[in-house]
Amino acid sequence: MSATAQKRAPTPSDIKARKGTEPLVTLTAYTTPIAQLVDEHCDIVLVGDSVGMVLHGLPSTLSVTLDMMILHGQAVARGLSRAMMVVDMPFGSYEESPQQAFANAARVMRETGCAAVKLEGGVAMAETIRFLTQRGIPVMAHIGLTPQAINTLGGYLVQGRGEDAQRILADADAVTEAGAFAVVLEKIPASLADDITDRVSIPTIGIGASAKCDGQVLVVDDMLGLFTAFKPKFVKRYGSLGQDADTAIATYAAEVRARTFPAPEHIFADKAPEKKK
Ligand code: KIV
């Protein structure tokens, strides 16, 4: 069932069952008003740890905390009624042990009401994914470019080119076998994304991957053109809200300086106008 036809939020099992059918539409959201806007159009809304860079001006996702993810998760939950909410596990909240991951993911689910968590990593995280899924925590995996690992990957580089493809294929197999219900493929060659999509039994959600993935995800601020400092190659801008906002703010500033705002219709008289009988 498509996002526009469904009456209730899909579950992770519904999403898994969509493999190879209608493409899964995913966007990030970090606030209630944006969640309200994307809800009607998306199957999945991701409270991504990209919130740290997009809303908090951090240089990377590495200093995003569990408390930040929970606060934004709660805000997004208030804006959703149809889409499924997934919340990112931030760096340092799950890698140490499956037990650490369970305690923190259970807190995220309890305090935000999300249907699932997302975590980065393939083979190295398979044991943790298995531990979580066997204990009632659905996991969306994230492989390829994993931004929490930029310091070991050497930056935001395309992953899986040439012989490195074998590593990404092994990651895809490992997270599928461990029980993830879907996997994000970030910034890998399109042919590799297609091979993975054909090979694994769970939906692939591409970002900088391939149009043949089972779904796509973008950072909502990027695609709206709100976050204008930098545009990765894989982002298509569907709007230019940053420019619109700049024009609106400049006009407001000019009108305040010219004392043309507030105008008579924005101010109050001493006496309230008499009510018509
Ligand atoms: O943090 C995020 O927004 C993400 C998506 C871009 C996949 O992980």
| CATH value of 12-223 in 3.30.540.10, 3.20.20.60, 3.40.50.720, 3.40.50.2300 | 3.20.20.60
Banded model confidence at residue 261, pLDDT cuts 50, 70, 90: very high
Mean pLDDT value across residues 239-250:
94
Active-site position among 22, 127, 186, 255: 186
Mean pLDDT of the chain: 95
Output the pLDDT for position 273. Answer: 76
Q: What is the DSSP string of 126-148?
A: HHHHHHHHTTT--EEEEEES-GG
Output the pLDDT for position 6. Answer: 58
Distance from the alpha carbon of residue 50 to the mean position of ligand 1, in angstroms: 6
pLDDT at 263 over 60: yes
Closest C-alpha residue for ligand 1 atom 8: 48
Output the pLDDT for position 272. Answer: 81
Closest atom of ligand 1 to CA, residue 147: 8
Distance from the alpha carbon of residue 3 to the mean position of ligand 1, in angstroms: 20
- What are the pLDDT digits (tens) for 2-44? 555 556 899 999 999 999 999 999 999 999 999 999 999 999 9
Strand pairing partners for 28?
A: 46
Please give all residues whose beta carbon lies within 6 A of any atom in ligand 1, as ranges.
Answer: 28, 46, 48-50, 88, 142, 184, 207, 217, 219
Output the pLDDT for position 3. Answer: 53
Output the pLDDT for position 116. Answer: 98
Output the pLDDT for position 106. Answer: 98
Percent of the chain with pLDDT over 70: 97
Best of 28, 51, 63, 184 for a ligand 1 pocket test (most atoms within 8 Å of beta carbon): 28
Best of 217, 220, 223 for a ligand 1 pocket test (most atoms within 8 Å of beta carbon): 217
- What are the pLDDT digits (tens) for 75-101? 999 999 999 999 999 999 999 999 999
Is 274 a residue of the active site?
no
Distance from the alpha carbon of residue 68 to the mean position of ligand 1, in angstroms: 15
**∠ Cα 159 163 167 (to 5°):** 60
Closest atom of ligand 1 to CA, residue 218: 6
- What are the pLDDT digits (tens) for 148-191? 999 999 999 999 999 999 999 999 999 999 999 999 999 999 99
- Contact, 212 vs 197, CB < 8 A? yes
Mean pLDDT value across residues 125-154:
98
Lowest mean pLDDT among 112-121, 198-207, 228-237: 228-237
Closest atom of ligand 1 to CA, residue 49: 1
Mean pLDDT value across residues 137-158:
98
The residues, ordered by sequence, that sit 6+ positions from 47 with a Cβ below 8 Å of its Cβ are 28, 29, 30, 69, 72, 73, 76, 85, 86, 87, 88, 112, 114
